[in-house]
Chain A
Amino acid sequence: MSTAHNVRHYPGAGLVTWVFFLWLYAPIAVVIWLSFNENRLVSVWTGFSMKWYEAALSNRALLDALRVSLTVAVVATTIATLVALSAAMVLSRNETMRFRRLSETVVNLPLLLPEIVVAVASLILFSQLGFSNGMARLIVAHSAFCTPFAFLPIRARMQGMSRDYEEAAKDLYAAPFTAFRRVTLPLILPGVFAGAMLAFVISMDDFITSNLLATGGTTTLPVYIFGLIKQGTTPELNAISTLLIFASLIIATFALVLSARSMRRG
């Protein structure tokens, strides 16, 4: 690349970059820093301590909320990914299908609708139906709004994959399911993986829907954290946040490595 067209050599590029990263990560850095604060007051530094981590990790309510969040996220991710995979298969491999564009829009619609509207609608629907199991309500709602997030990467990967591979598999005597299992699925796996990761993160992160639908005993982590803030921020919150940041980093690194590996093969 010629230096004239390299953005890095534009005047002020370095400064803008630094400001950008500072703006993005300064709040996070502050949280991590203060999570080791010994003082009960969040903003007064009096010394290094791990005691808030100890408190967080022995907080039953917090662990319960984490367990609920993980359960909902894992089940909803599985359902959403399976639905998204099926939808992507049909929509990208069946050109003659009627209402193809319409179907695709319907799958993606939850991305465009304001979440609060859908959440309120779900709440009303569930109470009308007398559907009162908190965990099940969360799973159903999360599966629904996670589906388009799982769908987009799978669809993109499928569209980028030459149809020749599937035809070659069939030409070599693979029955439709064998062709899917041994050729199509391995080749779109990076997309499926990316979709599942996205769905998982969206589910873990959700507050609005979970807050409306949760019943006693099915408080998710974001809802629990929000509750803590209402009682005033404590350094324990900083510790919880820091743990979450590191958990996310580990998951993201893992996902990146896995998808890079399968991309290389694909």
Chain B
Amino acid sequence: MTRGKAVEVFNVSKRFGDYQALDHVDFTIQENEFFTLLGPSGCGKTTLLRMIAGFETPSEGAIVLFGQEIDRLPAHKRHVNTVFQSYALFPHMTLAQNIAFGLENLGWDKPRREVRVAEMLELVHMTAFASRRPDQLSGGQRQRIALARALAPEPKVLLLDEPLSALDLKLRQAMRDELRALQRQTGITFIFVTHDQKEALDMSDRICVLGQGRVQQIGTPAEIYEEPENRFVADFIGETNFLDAEVIALDGARARIRTPLGLEFDAAQKGLSGPGPATLSLRPEKIGLQEQATGNVLTGTIRSRNYMGGYTHFVVETGGASLRVSRRNAVSQAESYAVGQEVRLGFRDESVRVLAR
């Protein structure tokens, strides 16, 4: 299947007075893609989404939708639909009327509208609720109707602004699966905004990590997690240990590293231009304890132990540095480690990512 370009964001900047919300953001979203804009609050992700929807205009740059520049197109003429964070279901209309609203504005005749509304209600398993009003629904049901309303006019792109943030944990997990399935089923390009990295990793084809108004990295969930390109991404996605180190030699994407802990090894690097100080990122689950300690081996003392259900988190002090280590509680081995105990730690060269400091 050849994929066209759904949304192209060309060098877009947005200033609100003195505040730079977006700073030369540039990327392309493919047709059919589940694309996530991920970042902390205030990183500009919602502003970007609102620009695509037509509620904000870029201060600089352009946005192209399926080959058409849309900067001068008002929101009601753009063939994109939004699922709002608040859902924004019209309280004075029934659910069926809510779903039909977009279709009416597009000039669909009544029989066609009715068929489509029924289809949409069925898609989100809400057929029995057609004549209810939004205030008679639970959060999860509103969420579904908001989705049905946005999908009904067959948008080319569906924008989702943190749609799961108002739901409780169990429901959120179920809705993640449903959203993913809906995207596959409809083949519509989804642009999903969230600050929740777990959501992003779980659902996306590709993730764009935004921070301080800039694109920090774009890639598949695995790329973002395993191969962060800078400290911001490594820090924001998942947990990691940052260690100061010295690059003593650089050969393309590989760097020869010397750490203050006395280790010397080769590791993958990103963003360095020559020897000098650098930061190592090492994920807690990639550090082995005792018999699993292979590769580069250190000794340390367990300073704390936190039982987290599926995992146990340790903080291990070694040569002046504190390392976070996490172990799966597959068998009850976590119990066998005590605070104050001396342990061997080990990690392999491939687990380390060398980044600019």
- Spell out A's residues near B (CB within 8 Å): 162, 164-165, 167-176, 178-179, 182-183, 186-187, 265-266
Contact = CB atoms under 8 A, between A and B. Distances in A.
Contacts of A165: 88, 90
B55 A169 contact: no
A172 B106 CA distance: 9
24 contacts: A162-B86, A164-B88, A165-B90, A167-B55, A168-B84, A168-B89, A169-B101, A170-B55, A170-B75, A171-B53, A171-B75, A171-B80, A172-B76, A172-B150, A173-B76, A173-B102, A174-B76, A174-B101, A178-B105, A186-B92, A187-B91, A265-B92, A265-B133, A266-B92
B133 A170 contact: no
A171 B82 contact: yes
B70 to A, nearest CB: 13
Interface string B99-133: 00110011000000000000000000000000001
Contacts of A173: 76-77, 102, 105-106, 153
A171 B101 contact: no
Contacts of B76: 170-176, 179
Contacts of B90: 165, 168-169, 183, 187
Contacts of B105: 172-175, 178
Contacts of B92: 186-187, 265-266
A164 B84 CA distance: 8
Interface of B: 53-55, 74-77, 80-82, 84, 86, 88-92, 101-102, 105-106, 133, 149-150, 153
Contacts of A187: 90-92
Contacts of A168: 82, 84, 88-90
Contacts of B80: 171
Contacts of B153: 172-173
Contacts of A175: 76, 105
B81 A171 contact: yes
Given A167-B84, A169-B101, A172-B105, 11 more contacts: A162-B88, A164-B86, A167-B53, A169-B90, A172-B150, A176-B76, A179-B76, A187-B91, A187-B92, A265-B133, A266-B92
Given A173-B102, A173-B153, A174-B105, A167 B75 contact: yes
B91 A170 contact: no
B84 to A, nearest CB: 5
A179 B92 CA distance: 13
Contacts of B53: 167, 171
Of the listed residues A173, A182, A183, A265, the one surrounded by the most CB atoms of chain B closer than 10 A to its CB is A173
Contacts of A172: 76, 81, 101-102, 105, 149-150, 153
Contacts of B75: 167, 170-171
Nearest to A174: B105
A183 B92 CA distance: 8
Nearest to A185: B92
Contacts of A164: 84, 86, 88
Contacts of A183: 90
A113 B300 CA distance: 79
